[in-house]
Amino acid sequence: MSTLLEQGRLVRVIEDWCTDYPGFFLYCPSRRQFPVALRAFIDFTRTGRSV
């Protein structure tokens, strides 16, 4: 998104309400029956790699 903002192709329309985004937060109430695909997604996002 930063590229689009720099190019002027994307603009912030309510600048006062736009804050820096620190990342994802995930709440899992139980690790019992934790889906393998979700675990893989979490591990992937924690590495910071892009798709």
Over the stretch 2-19, which tens digit does the pLDDT of each residue have?
788 889 888 878 878 777
Gap between the Cα atoms of 32 and 30, Å rounded = 5
Instruction: Enumerate the domain spans of the chain.
Output: 21-51
pLDDT in tens, 13-50: 887 877 777 777 777 777 778 888 988 988 888 887 66
Per DSSP (E only), the strands in the chain are none
